[in-house]
Chains A and B, each alone.
Chain A
Amino acid sequence: MLAKNLSPIEKIKTESSGLRGSIIESLYNEITGAIREDDQAVIKFHGMYQQDDRDQREERAAKKLDRLYSFMIRLRLPGGFLTPRQWIASHEIAGKNSTGVIKITSRQTIQLHGLIKSKIKPTIAAFNAAELDSIATCGDINRNVLCTSNPIQSPIHEEVFAYADKISQLLMPKTKAYYEIWLDQEKIVDRKVEEDPLYEDRYLPRKFKIAIAIPPNNDVDVFANDIGLIAVIENNKLLGFNIAIGGGLSTTHGNTNTYARLATVIGFSDTEDRTLKAVYEIVTIQRDFGNRSDRKLARLKYTLDRVGLDWFKEELERRVGFELQEARPYQFTSRKDYFGWVSDDKDVWHYTAFVENGRITDEGKVKLKSALLEVAKTGKANFRFTCNQNVILSDVDLQDKSGVEEILNQFGVVANTEASSSLRKNSMACVALNTCPLALAEGQRYLPTLISKIEPILKKYFLEEEEIIIRMTGCPNGCARPYVAEIGLVGTALGHYNLHFGGDRSGQRLNRPYKENLNEESILMELDGWLGRYRLERRMGESFGDYALREIKLN
């Protein structure tokens, strides 16, 4: 790649002195809530995005007020796990420094919105005190590592889950900038001590996502990741992982060179040592061969399709020094969360509470945020977040179960989880307006209303028990993974969405674009027609996604 063709972000990375940039100077600037433009790229590597309230842009400009800038901070939570003490800390920090809403993301972590510039340092300090950090949760680097969330998925869930943290540690940047800038730790004088053989000074060409799935549940959408590890378990023993590479869902409207792609399984590795080595070297190949001039074509999926699967595998085996074994058979049947109480064989209980669009707040009828705080205060439950943006109060002993349940009842959590329709519980939307700078249309602020209008249609056709997966994003970048939904809605402009049909229930197939730029009326009309026909024409046990695909192929 010629240097002059490098995208501007590449220069910012290499000149950032280990992800420091001029963030400190930016923080000192009292007259703006923003940080310098280059620093906006750098701060992502520290787990933050600069955003502004887009609803207020025009109004504030007329008032001679600058845009209302704030920051979103996202935690690094490999496998999506918090102790009750850490939840209490997060609760307090959110109330003090951000909008108060704790958002469970589609990547198993939590994020806070609306942090003003001066609150960043106290926020990070408070998280640090709770042994939490936000390192590398955004930016061109390995992001939060996912793992199938519910411990009942396997008796050896804990062993598999541990890989999430190991991979996260393995792929952490070496720079101490995070501690220096946000936690006032001593300045590194000799930058040699933080030399980074993995990321060097250029990091990755683009974001990098890794997920670990325990079949048959594909709750993590393992194929939507750059690297997907599928645990192969026999007789409660972890044999190793099938390794899939090159997944990624983001596309760009109008750019036909961009596409959503599911990861391809390239083989199997047995020992921990080998698996980690393979993961590491897949990252180094992407570092060395990824497209650094066009960010829209920079994800591993494009690299892979450009160099070819065979070449990639060969290069990988050369770098790791061993051959991958042939992939083991695996089967996914669902992508679901187990709402309500479930128990594993050790009589340890887990309660999955429904959290609409992952927003934990006391705003609505359900005082979820208060409920979770009370549960955390008992110290009897851990907190696990699912990739469907729900929360599991996990690892509850039988003797503590009724106490936890009482709290959940008291705040209406149980009633809400039980009363919400299947469609709602299987829905997911991204943040979009008013804070996401990329949003073209509404996401989480609108989907709940739309679902309320779809529910009567389902009822009309006696389909309300169907677990149809519906997902909405405000732009084509796919944060809520709409391209692997049975009903996908991808925002194109305010009030307008592309409608996608035909994803399968377990996330092993991309859906198809069906119609473009539909408004609400047209969306509801289409859904009414399709769901009505589905009711009449479906085969035994056929999911809506499978039916829709069959129909689209016919026509």
Chain B
Amino acid sequence: MIAETKLSKLKELIEDSTEKELIWINGYLSGLVNSRTGVAPVQPTFTQKLTIVFGTDTGNSKKVASGFAKQLKQKGAQIKLQGIDQYRLADLQKEKYLLLVISTHGDGEPPATAKNFFDYIHNNSLALNELRYAVLALGDSAYPLFCKAGEDLDARLGELGGSRLLPLEKCDTDFEDVANTWIENVTKTIDPKSTSNQKKIVSPKVNGKKNYEAVILSNTNLNGRGSAKQTHHIELSASGVAYEPGDSLGLIPQNRLVLVNAILDETGIDPTKKIAYRKEEITVYDLLTRKVNIAYLPERLVKQYATIVGQAIPVTRMDLLNLIKIYPTKDVAQFEEVIGILEPIAPRLYSIASSLAAHEDEVHLTVVRNCFSVSDEVEYGLCSDYLLSLPVDAHLEFYIHKNSEFKLPDSEKDMIMIGPGTGVAPFRSFIEERNSTSASGRNWLFYGDQHFESDFLYQTEIQNYVQLGVLTKVNVAFSRDQEEKIYVQHKMLEEGKAVFDWLESGAHLYMCGAKSPMADDVERALVTIVEQFGKQTTEEAQAYLNQMKEDGRYQKDVY
């Protein structure tokens, strides 16, 4: 870095200087460097060491956290920015300033990456008396347990002796403004002298995400005769809709009318009666069909229900209708009380399968009918069932859920896409986009499902893209066409050499589909490939992939 002669001169100078002189030299040099590199010298106003940790699944928390880090660095702070899964748990007791940005998923769950951290703070009695912290919670207010993971984190750090720099802040899906205000406040709290060099914050928050009104253009089952699956390709027309490949569509499904009617019958409540629910006046009928979740209620609601009706009910997930049938409410008033505890229907997210460049004002979805068994009976997912049943011309409200962690690379970059089953959806979007924009990068798709004959989603489109040269390579794995099960990871291993060559030449890697077991199996296959063809140890191969993730070259959208 520096020649020996220069270094010895510098050391001489330093040894000869007083402390005051050194501080002056330090300021002088940093001003000099900044002016040479074209950046205006900034008076260091903020000198504390700060750790920023983010926990994310879709990348929003990371985006916010990185923004903070950059901003605070400019003010002269020493920043350590880390994903929560990379955080050294042992460091927690040494932290002075800790900022946490954490998202909430599903039924109040923290992101998968935060599991170890959460376990650690909940299972250990730590003394965090030195710690000053602040939590920014990201979530979606349409979910019943809005920002639950943030709440839990904030509360637990407090219990362990930490003191809050700021009270917990919750952001909805339009988090930018709230997040900016929060970091301003954090900065002020730590160092009141510091002034913002950011644009003035717009506040207060504008309510809600942008909702679009869509009309169903087509709704077709893609699976052929004899398939065990039912996967629909649904085309929506929504004028002015804006999204990018990789984003998702969010929507709130309606409850099944048979269930609603049965509940009305059982309780005898007047469906046209208007009642108050979460600051809204709404008819019982509308509430039960469109607002509140009545299926497969979580245990906490079953407990509350038991308290209201004053009966002992085993704590297990149950449908509202079954609760009412087995443990009836004593009158309409008591049922209204029950309605009060019901939670809003959670929105569902679907990876968008189209590109605006190919289909202006349209959103396409790939929706598989979700079946699961509940006490020996096959149940179908509320939302998939709802979507699958929508006829052409039906109306539908939705919003766009951005996913900054799943985005196309630059147009000249190669990419490998691994998307079995409905995991192919975002890749249809990617490929449409790349085709429409004549992107020069090569594209390789790994696809898989149960049967070649009936389950090859978008087969003719994929064939056309191969013909056009948009898809450079396609490998398919059909698990049930032969005695031994063949999955995408087997095809990847077969093509291991080529996969590694692509990665080495800078290809971006994308994976979409079921978290378990697909994503885990694919990840293992990738490690094996890097080990084998990169002649690396398992740890090195793991690090290779981690580096790719860090560089944004390996992105996942798994569910």
Contacts and interface: CB of A to CB of B under 8 A. Distances in A.
A65 interface: yes
B466 interface: yes
Given A61-B460, A63-B221, A65-B224, A30 B475 contact: yes
Contact of B459 (A56, A65, A116): A65
Interface stretch (B308-316, B449-457, B505-513): B449-457
Contacts of B476: 30-31
Interface in A6-45: 30-33
Contact of A66 (B220, B225, B459, B482): B459
Contacts of A32: 463
A31 B220 contact: no
Interface in A449-494: none
A64 B458 contact: yes
**10 shortest interchain CB distances as A-B pairs:** A30-B476, A64-B460, A66-B459, A63-B222, A65-B459, A65-B224, A64-B458, A31-B474, A66-B460, A31-B463
Interface in B439-470: 452-454, 456-463, 466
Interface residues of B, number: 24
A63 B453 contact: no
Contacts of A66: 456, 459-460, 463
B229 to A, nearest CB: 12
B410 interface: no
A66 B452 CA distance: 10
B233 interface: yes
A63 B233 CA distance: 8
A112 B202 CA distance: 74
Given A31-B459, A32-B463, A64-B460, A116 B220 contact: no
A31 B456 CA distance: 9
Contacts of B220: 62-64
B222 A64 contact: yes
10 contacts: A30-B474, A33-B453, A56-B224, A59-B224, A64-B233, A64-B458, A64-B459, A65-B460, A66-B460, A118-B481
Q: Which of A32, A33, A63 has the most CB of B within 10 A?
A: A63
Contacts of B187: none
A56 B221 CA distance: 14
A68 interface: yes
Interface residues of A, dominant DSSP: loop
Given A31-B459, A65-B460, 10 more contacts: A62-B220, A63-B220, A64-B220, A65-B222, A65-B456, A66-B459, A66-B460, A66-B463, A68-B224, A118-B481
Contacts of B489: none
A550 interface: no
Nearest to B456: A65
Contacts of A64: 220, 222, 233, 457-461
Nearest to A118: B481
B355 interface: no
A62 B461 CA distance: 12
Q: Which of B223, B460, B463, B466 has the most CB of A within 10 A?
A: B460
A63 B461 contact: no
B457 to A, nearest CB: 7
A68 B451 CA distance: 12
Nearest to B466: A31
Q: Which of A64, A116, A118 has the most CB of B within 10 A?
A: A64
Q: Which of A65, A66, A118 has the most CB of B within 10 A?
A: A65
A237 interface: no
Contacts of A59: 224-225
Nearest to A30: B476
A65 B461 CA distance: 9
A60 interface: yes
Nearest to B455: A65
A397 to B, nearest CB: 41
Interface in A401-417: none
Contacts of B233: 64
A56 B227 CA distance: 14
A28 to B, nearest CB: 11
Nearest to B482: A118
Nearest to A34: B463
B25 to A, nearest CB: 68
